[in-house]
Amino acid sequence: MYLMDYHHHTNHSFDSTASMVEVCKNAIENEIQEICFTEHFSVNPLAPTYGHMVFEKYLDEIRDCQEKFHSQLIVKAGIELCEPHLLKDQYDEILQPLNLDFILGSVHNLNNQKLRLALKDGHPTAYERYFIELLSMVSTADIDIIAHFDLMKRYAYKEHGLYDFHEYQEIIQQILKKAIDRNIGIEINTSGLRTGLQQTLPSIEIIQIYKELGGEILTIGSDSHIVEDVGANIADAYALAKQCGFNYVFKFEKRKPIAVKI
């Protein structure tokens, strides 16, 4: 099986100190054939991500890894954008000349507040606010994949438990339909399997509904922030994709999705 891991953070992200070379080495050790670096990036001065990324340095380092590991690993250049539907023109201006392979879109903040803080402000409405923001993102943003679709649960589950899928099913379906209309996919993010959450982001119900609605574009990502997590639970994610009826997962080349048989 051709294993791919399309979600990694290194010292080019504000919340990681991992080195790109070590990420590549670990991917090779774990029999991953293709990876994509997806560092956090925001043009919003109020976001924690702001000001950390130096694209020239980032892309130079990716090119070095591509050369160094060319016979063992395919290395792609991506980015994870925070709230890319806001300040859209600024994102376009910076990103268009870069010719990236892949763009993840994320909601990490609600009204310039981290999700954890938004929960404190009012738990009963936090999930609703999150999914409404996700719908706004998928309606207008220039992205390829929705990252960790139900991310709010990462911050909510310990204190408040998991959300009731049926309570939010209607807006989740709206988000997925809009994504399918705009040729935007979702990822199976395995980071939740490494915590007490013990499930992928999104949950199996969302992956199943995406499939039922006709969704096809699916990527797999460990969301690694430390070298040891590179490739973690990727085989589980492939098995879950298969269980939900998917026969392909996708890689990207200059923003074009390419199907790879599971």
254, 101 contact by CB (below 8 A): yes
| DSSP character at residue 202 | S
Structure tokens at 167: 């309570």
Nearest alpha carbon to residue 66 among 99, 30, 105, 23: 23
pLDDT of residue 16: 96
What is the DSSP code (8-state) at residue 85?
T
Q: What is the pLDDT of residues 31-55, one digit of tens each?
A: 999 999 999 999 999 888 899 999 9
What pLDDT sits at residue 123?
A: 63
Amino acid present at 219:
T
pLDDT at 122: 64
Chain Cα centroid distance, residue 12:
16
User: Per the structure, how many domains does the chain have?
Assistant: 1
The boundaries of the domain holding residue 236 are: 4-261
Query: pTM for the complete prediction?
Result: 0.96
How confident is the model at residue 43, as a pLDDT? 96
Cite the DSSP H helix spans in 30-151. 55-68, 88-95, 115-121, 123-140
- Quote the tokens at residue 48: 């924690």
d(CA 152, CA 173): 17
Amino acid at 34: E
In this prediction, the residues of the chain whose per-residue pLDDT falls under 70 are 121-124
CATH number at residue 70: 3.20.20.140
How many of the other CB atoms lie within 10 Å of CB of 140?
13
Buried b / exposed e along 58-72 (16+ C-beta atoms within 10 A)? bbebbeebeeebeee
